[in-house]
């Protein structure tokens, strides 16, 4: 009987669904285990083979944990708000909700494309997700609670004294009694006020003040505005100065926006990393992003003669110990004091410099760091310790946005300061003992300080402490910790996102009452911004709040609303809002009264294993940690880190065969010599008809097989077109691409075959033997535009889900990036077929197992018979598979299974006692075939909740050990000796061996190293 994987897989997938095999119980005597995947954005392109990689690994782990007796929560959902569905809406008018539904559930889109649907694609792979817990962030029942969490953030402030977020009421209480003088909060700059003042203010005034304290707050901020996308972007959505999505330019713009006071959590987000089982790389990226620097903030008084200002310049430094090395000051060109302090003589030069700096984009400024530029303001500050006059310069190496926008320049200890001083001929003071700074600054932190009054002879570390003490004593500054982390902009000028539960009365925001949530996205006619530049929600007719009747009402566009009716917020929330807490909702996905019930979150706790891409290091992973800490502060959840252990799966890259044409490429017009995977085909059968679509341009010439060739060749697959894209080479112009008769000039082309995975070898063979082409594989990102996408569906169709699952794991370590290559899939498929045959060794290959037990003697030690070889093979495999999965090495168990099946096949083993446990350990990797054979063995329950077998060491004990015998570390021969032989006896035995005599050459060995059960090394 053949291994009919298609039938078997359909059968069991249906069984699992009908029996809710993978439903997690919300309480259980079993220990809990929470395995989570980063949920996908359901794009219209569907899944390619790279997407399931992490899901397969997490599924194997979830199944493994179930077999070990855990109550496993393994859910899946969709991060379904996002830009692509909105852009599709702009193009086609199809509502993003429809697009999203089709992308998830399958169907036909507005342009007639058949969409397989994420769910269908996922189901085919046989995942053990508990689909009853599915969440979609764009579902009103879900974003109701995203809005609710927003309200909690709005109604909270960060108390630095208790070091946690608290309800805003506790702050208002303090204001009423003491004003804000004693309040120790993380807030936007506020002036001090008394209780009397607070109490005297009206509602509006009080709200304005409170806004400075709220954890989510509205403010005019400089934001990253992306004109092409028509929206603002968070810092983590920008890469290299352009938008991460689309690569559009980004500019700075002052806008009234919601922000999240994530900076309040900077220290906890940093220190919390230590306890997480994440890779160092991700932790470092987060540490870097938070960017903590410890130092001092100090004021330099501006020297009176140079300006009427009596002000001071505040600087931040991490090296207060170098205070006596200050040789000049540098302000950012945008620093507000520059205009005030510049002397009339320097005015022209400074203004010219400011203007030049303002014209440079952020990007130019970064790429132009080798050019040292600056201007002297003519002004001076007084050195707080020496009383010396110190020149004030401006220079664009000082950033307005970091610290105070001003630095005290210590050229002897900072290379940038040194370069600046050297360039402009400013005198450099050296305060490092015995350090030569004539060639450059001494930036190490191990120097001893000199020429520095009270800091003399102190090592830097102590000098820093002493300097801060002294600075604070004199009241000219204080120790300070600075973070690079900025508050996160939370408004997006988009349609397809969560609406804010906010309405405005005279520009003061108020929250929609919780019982009125969710505030559902309104219908709009156009998904574009309004004509007067308002976000798309400005187009909504029904988008006002009736405060008294507590409902959304319609006010015609452009009309002034009647009293008691107020306009709702027009922005929507960013993509990361919904994904910052979704792992909590899986615990209680249908709860209408709470975002998650207390007893459920108390039971499930945080995620034990989180698998997903490393690209979310500074976005999702930071925001989710932030919200988790916030919800913890307010007592809603019992933990303050969401993901205990995380593994970042590597990217699966696409491979394109590049064709190098090294000789004249002769064909008839519109014909191209191509390959035929059939080795025996005659040369002329290898000719296929190309069709070049001029509209595709030279980069995307498509080549189609002609029908007659397809017939000759006899492959069904060739009826599909095989796209070939020709990569433009610098020696080639686009013209030569239009007609294939001009192809002589071509040097290089990319070949990618759609569904062509299995005949790549033949393809290569043909071209290598030809004088026309040489192909070389090139690794690229897998994407539709590169024609190198392979969907899991086609592989499941051809080889089955179990093969796909095992193969994706077999490719290599999970974390590693790897090019997709299907050549090896036949090996894995062959293994499953071989496994199947192991259970079908009866007559006519019918199902057969031998029920007679392997005999064991009374003391539990195995019976000495030939049958034991099978048991040994099995138990060795049990041990390895368990240990490997536990250390998240998902690739190595596949080879262990192969070895085991190869051995059992060679032994013609068909004992139930061996074959039954083998299925259990294999089930996480290949659940369908395992279920099928498990059922054939007579089991009536799913293998999902079987017990993972324990290996028995008794089967693994060897009576003899084959010792590799080395001479001077070089392995020379093997010698089989009893395993329990003593060191002395082994040494004697080895030296007496005739082969050893040859290597000893009559000499007496200097030393013999014997490691029992391992090796013998003779030193001659």
Residue 754's SS3 state is: coil
Q: Which of residues 170 and 281 has its CB atom nearest to RNA in the complex? A: 281
* Residue 971 touches RNA, criterion: CB under 7 A: yes
Q: Is the dihedral of CA 9, 13, 16, 18 positive or negative?
A: negative
* Residue 356 touches RNA, criterion: CB under 7 A: no
Instruction: Give φ, ψ of 694 to 5 degrees.
Output: -60, -30
Longest dimension (CA), the chain: 112
Structural element, H or E, at residue 167: strand 164-167
Dihedral (Cα; 902, 908, 912, 914), 10-degree rounding = -40
* Residue 267 touches RNA, criterion: CB under 7 A: no
* Residue 1009 touches RNA, criterion: CB under 7 A: yes
Crossing angle between the packed helical segments 801-810 and 927-936, to the nearest 10 degrees: 130
**Shortest separation between residue 690's beta carbon and RNA, angstroms:** 23
Q: Which of residues 593 and 1004 has its CB atom nearest to RNA in the complex? A: 1004
Point out which span in 341-349, 447-455, 550-558, 1008-1016 binds RNA (CB under 7 A).
1008-1016
Q: Which of residues 904 and 930 has its CB atom nearest to RNA in the complex? A: 904
Q: Which of residues 135 and 421 has its CB atom nearest to RNA in the complex? A: 421
Tell me if 795 sits within 8 A of 804, measured CB to CB: yes
Point out which span in 80-88, 158-166, 425-433, 885-893 binds RNA (CB under 7 A).
885-893
Point out which span in 99-107, 248-256, 745-753, 886-894 binds RNA (CB under 7 A).
886-894
Binds RNA (CB under 7 A): choice among 9, 134, 166, 414: 414
**Residue 643 preceded by cis peptide, ω within 30:** no
Tell me if 1006 sits within 8 A of 956, measured CB to CB: no
Q: Which of residues 428 and 935 has its CB atom nearest to RNA in the complex? A: 428
Calpha distance 948→917 (Å, rounded): 8
* Residue 891 touches RNA, criterion: CB under 7 A: yes
* Residue 899 touches RNA, criterion: CB under 7 A: yes
Q: Which of 752, 944, 763, 929 is nearest to 839 (CA)?
A: 929
Binds RNA (CB under 7 A): choice among 109, 197, 472, 883: 883
Binds RNA (CB under 7 A): choice among 361, 481, 530, 889: 889
* Residue 242 touches RNA, criterion: CB under 7 A: no
Q: What are the distances in angstroms from CA 287 to CA 222, 233, 282, 939?
A: 24, 21, 9, 52
* Residue 393 touches RNA, criterion: CB under 7 A: no
Tell me if 266 sits within 8 A of 482, measured CB to CB: no
**Shortest separation between residue 16's beta carbon and RNA, angstroms:** 26
Binds RNA (CB under 7 A): choice among 177, 254, 399, 957: 399
Q: Is the dihedral of CA 9, 15, 21, 23 positive or negative?
A: positive
**Shortest separation between residue 381's beta carbon and RNA, angstroms:** 15
Q: How many CA atoms lie within 13 A of 653 on its CB side?
A: 12
- The contact mask relative to RNA for 130-169 (x = CB under 7 A, - = no) is ----------------------------------------
Q: Which of residues 718 and 935 has its CB atom nearest to RNA in the complex? A: 718
Return the residue matching tokens 């044409």: 661
Q: Going by C-beta distance under 8 Å and a sequence separation of 6 or more, which residues neighbour residue 978?
A: 959, 960, 961
Q: How many CA atoms lie within 13 A of 683 on its CB side?
A: 3
Binds RNA (CB under 7 A): choice among 887, 940, 953, 992: 887
User: Site residues for RNA, window 363-382 (CB under 7 A)?
Assistant: 365-366, 368-369, 371, 373
Q: What are the distances in angstroms from CA 952 to CA 662, 870, 873, 900?
A: 61, 13, 11, 16
Tell me if 261 sits within 8 A of 489, measured CB to CB: no
**Shortest separation between residue 744's beta carbon and RNA, angstroms:** 30
Report the 3 state secondary structure along 670-690: CCEECCCCCCCCCHHHHEECC
* Residue 892 touches RNA, criterion: CB under 7 A: yes
Q: How far is CA 313 from the centre of its chain?
A: 41
- The contact mask relative to RNA for 491-530 (x = CB under 7 A, - = no) is ----------------------------------------
User: Site residues for RNA, window 639-668 (CB under 7 A)?
Assistant: none
* Residue 821 touches RNA, criterion: CB under 7 A: yes
Binds RNA (CB under 7 A): choice among 310, 345, 427, 716: 716
Binds RNA (CB under 7 A): choice among 389, 526, 645, 818: 818
Dihedral (Cα; 663, 666, 671, 676), 10-degree rounding = -50
* Residue 245 touches RNA, criterion: CB under 7 A: no
User: Site residues for RNA, window 949-968 (CB under 7 A)?
Assistant: 962, 964, 966, 968
Q: Which of residues 134 and 237 has its CB atom nearest to RNA in the complex? A: 237
Q: Which of residues 248 and 833 has its CB atom nearest to RNA in the complex? A: 833
Q: Of how many residues is the chain composed?
A: 1020
**Shortest separation between residue 62's beta carbon and RNA, angstroms:** 22
Point out which span in 29-37, 429-437, 549-557, 825-833 binds RNA (CB under 7 A).
825-833
* Residue 720 touches RNA, criterion: CB under 7 A: no
Calpha distance 97→103 (Å, rounded): 10
Tell me if 307 sits within 8 A of 372, measured CB to CB: no
Binds RNA (CB under 7 A): choice among 93, 761, 842, 978: 761
**Shortest separation between residue 406's beta carbon and RNA, angstroms:** 7
* Residue 424 touches RNA, criterion: CB under 7 A: no
User: Site residues for RNA, window 66-105 (CB under 7 A)?
Assistant: none
Return the residue matching tokens 């310049």: 313
Instruction: Give φ, ψ of 281 to 5 degrees.
Output: -60, -50
Name 658's bridge partners: 750, 776
Binds RNA (CB under 7 A): choice among 472, 546, 884, 989: 884
Binds RNA (CB under 7 A): choice among 71, 231, 346, 482: 482
* Residue 785 touches RNA, criterion: CB under 7 A: no
* CB-count exposure of residue 274 (10 Å: 0-12, 13-18, 19+): exposed
Binds RNA (CB under 7 A): choice among 11, 167, 480, 765: 765
Q: What are the distances in angstroms from CA 806 to CA 38, 53, 229, 500, 803?
A: 21, 10, 41, 45, 5
Q: Which of residues 365 and 936 has its CB atom nearest to RNA in the complex? A: 365
**Residue 706 preceded by cis peptide, ω within 30:** no
User: Site residues for RNA, window 680-699 (CB under 7 A)?
Assistant: 680
Return the residue matching tokens 């439903």: 23
Point out which span in 113-121, 167-175, 257-265, 710-718 binds RNA (CB under 7 A).
710-718
Element counts in the chain: helices (H) and strands (E): 33, 39
User: Site residues for RNA, window 862-881 (CB under 7 A)?
Assistant: 880
Q: Which of residues 242 and 516 has its CB atom nearest to RNA in the complex? A: 242
Binds RNA (CB under 7 A): choice among 229, 379, 894, 926: 894
Question: Any idea what DSSP says for residue 941?
Answer: S
* Residue 828 touches RNA, criterion: CB under 7 A: yes
* Residue 402 touches RNA, criterion: CB under 7 A: yes
Q: Which of residues 25 and 239 has its CB atom nearest to RNA in the complex? A: 239
Tell me if 662 sits within 8 A of 774, measured CB to CB: yes
Point out which span in 396-404, 459-467, 568-576, 915-923 binds RNA (CB under 7 A).
396-404
User: Site residues for RNA, window 274-333 (CB under 7 A)?
Assistant: 279-281, 284-285, 288-289, 291, 293, 295, 316-319, 332
* Residue 970 touches RNA, criterion: CB under 7 A: yes
Query: Token pair of 729, please?
Result: 């080479």
Name 725's bridge partners: 750
User: Site residues for RNA, window 599-638 (CB under 7 A)?
Assistant: 614, 617-618
Q: How many CA atoms lie within 13 A of 99 on its CB side?
A: 25
Calpha distance 179→1 (Å, rounded): 84
């Amino acid at each position: 009987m053949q291994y009919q994987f298609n039938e078997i897989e359909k059968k069991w997938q249906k069984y699992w669904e009908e029996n809710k095999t993978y439903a997690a119980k919300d309480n259980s005597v079993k220990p809990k285990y929470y395995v989570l995947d980063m949920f996908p954005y359901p794009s219209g392109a569907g899944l390619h083979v790279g997407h399931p990689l992490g899901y397969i690994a997490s599924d194997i782990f979830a199944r493994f944990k179930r077999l070990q007796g855990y109550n496993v929560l393994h859910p899946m959902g969709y991060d379904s708000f996002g830009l692509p569905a909105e852009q599709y809406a702009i193009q086609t008018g199809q509502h993003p909700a429809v697009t999203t539904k089709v992308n998830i559930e399958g169907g036909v889109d507005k342009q007639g494309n058949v969409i397989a649907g994420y769910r269908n694609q996922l189901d085919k792979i046989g995942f053990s997700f508990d689909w009853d817990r599915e969440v979609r962030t764009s579902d009103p029942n879900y974003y109701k609670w995203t809005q609710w969490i927003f309200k909690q953030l709005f109604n909270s402030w960060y108390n630095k004294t208790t070091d946690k977020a608290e309800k805003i009421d506790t702050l208002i209480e303090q204001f009423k009694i003491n004003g804000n003088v004693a309040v120790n909060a993380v807030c936007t700059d506020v002036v001090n006020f008394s209780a009397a003042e607070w109490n005297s203010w009206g509602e509006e005034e009080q709200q304005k003040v409170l806004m400075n304290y709220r954890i989510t707050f509205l403010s005019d901020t400089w934001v990253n505005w992306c004109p092409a996308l028509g929206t603002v972007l968070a810092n983590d959505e920008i890469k290299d100065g352009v938008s991460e999505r689309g690569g559009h330019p980004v500019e700075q713009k002052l806008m009234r926006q919601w922000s999240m006071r994530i900076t309040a959590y900077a220290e906890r987000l940093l220190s919390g990393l230590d306890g997480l089982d994440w890779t160092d790389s991700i932790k470092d990226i987060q540490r870097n992003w938070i960017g903590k620097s410890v130092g001092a903030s100090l004021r330099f008084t501006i020297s009176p003669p140079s300006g009427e200002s009596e002000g001071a310049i505040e600087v931040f430094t991490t090296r207060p110990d170098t205070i006596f090395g200050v040789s000049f000051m540098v302000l950012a060109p945008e620093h507000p004091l520059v205009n005030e302090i510049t002397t009339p003589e320097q005015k022209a030069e400074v203004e010219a410099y400011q203007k030049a700096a303002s014209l440079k984009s952020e990007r130019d400024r970064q790429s132009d760091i080798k050019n040292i530029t600056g201007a002297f303001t003519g002004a001076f500050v007084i050195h707080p310790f020496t009383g010396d006059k110190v020149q004030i310069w401006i220079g664009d190496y000082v950033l307005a946005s970091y610290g105070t926008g001003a630095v005290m320049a210590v050229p002897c200890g900072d290379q940038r300061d040194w370069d600046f001083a050297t360039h402009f001929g400013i005198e450099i003071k050296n305060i490092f003992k015995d350090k030569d700074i004539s060639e450059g600054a001494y930036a190490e932190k191990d120097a001893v300080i000199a020429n520095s009054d009270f800091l003399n002879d102190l090592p830097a570390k102590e000098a820093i402490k002493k300097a801060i003490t002294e600075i604070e004593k004199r009241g000219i500054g204080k120790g300070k910790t600075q973070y690079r982390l900025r508050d996160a902009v939370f408004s997006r000028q988009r349609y397809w996102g969560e609406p804010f539960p906010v309405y405005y009365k005279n520009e003061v925001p108020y929250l929609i009452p919780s019982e009125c949530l969710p505030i559902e996205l309104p219908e709009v006619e156009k998904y574009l911004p309004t004509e007067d530049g308002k976000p798309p929600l400005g187009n909504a007719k029904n988008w006002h709040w009736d405060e008294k009747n507590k409902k959304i009402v319609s006010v015609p566009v452009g009309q002034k609303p009647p009293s008691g009716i107020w306009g709702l917020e027009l922005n929507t929330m960013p993509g990361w809002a919904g994904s910052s807490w979704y792992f909590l909702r899986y615990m209680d996905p249908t709860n209408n009264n709470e975002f998650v019930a207390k007893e459920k979150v108390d039971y499930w706790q945080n995620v034990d294993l989180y698998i997903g891409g490393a690209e979310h290091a500074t976005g999702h992973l930071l925001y989710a940690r932030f919200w988790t800490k916030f919800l913890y502060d307010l007592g809603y959840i019992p933990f303050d880190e969401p993901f205990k252990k995380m593994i970042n799966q590597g990217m699966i890259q696409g491979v394109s065969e590049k064709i190098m044409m090294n000789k004249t490429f002769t064909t008839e017009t519109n014909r191209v010599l191509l390959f035929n995977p059939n080795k025996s085909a005659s040369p002329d059968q290898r000719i296929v008809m190309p069709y070049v679509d001029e509209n595709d341009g030279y980069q995307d010439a498509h080549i189609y097989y002609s029908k007659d060739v397809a017939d000759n060749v006899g492959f069904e697959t060739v009826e599909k077109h095989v796209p070939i894209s020709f990569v433009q080479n610098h020696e080639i112009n686009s013209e030569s691409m239009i007609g294939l008769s001009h192809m002589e000039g071509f040097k290089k082309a990319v070949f990618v075959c759609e569904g062509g995975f299995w005949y790549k070898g033949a393809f290569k063979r043909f071209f290598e033997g030809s004088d026309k082409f040489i192909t070389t594989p090139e690794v690229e990102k897998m994407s539709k535009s590169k024609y190198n996408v392979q969907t899991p569906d086609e592989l499941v169709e051809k080889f089955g889900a179990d093969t796909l699952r095992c193969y994706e794991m077999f490719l290599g370590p999970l974390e590693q990036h790897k090019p997709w290559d299907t050549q090896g899939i036949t090996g894995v498929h062959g293994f499953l077929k071989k496994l199947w045959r192991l259970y079908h060794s009866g007559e006519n290959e019918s199902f057969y197992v031998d029920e007679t037990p392997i005999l064991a003697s009374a003391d539990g030690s195995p019976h000495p018979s030939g049958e034991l070889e099978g048991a040994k093979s099995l138990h060795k495999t049990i041990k390895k598979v368990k240990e490997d999965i536990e250390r998240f090495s998902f690739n190595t168990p596949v080879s262990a299974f192969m070895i085991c099946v190869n051995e059992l096949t060679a032994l013609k083993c068909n004992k139930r006692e061996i074959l039954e446990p083998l299925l259990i350990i294999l089930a996480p990797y290949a659940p369908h075939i395992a279920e099928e054979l498990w059922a054939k063995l007579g089991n009536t329950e799913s293998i999902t909740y079987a017990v993972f077998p324990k290996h028995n060491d008794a089967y693994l004990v060897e009576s003899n050990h084959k010792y590799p015998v080395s001479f001077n570390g070089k392995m020379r021969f093997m010698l089989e000796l009893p395993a329990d032989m003593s060191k002395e006896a082994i040494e004697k035995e080895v030296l007496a061996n005739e082969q050893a005599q040859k290597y000893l050459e009559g000499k007496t060995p200097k030393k013999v190293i014997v490691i029992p059960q391992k090796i013998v090394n003779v030193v001659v």
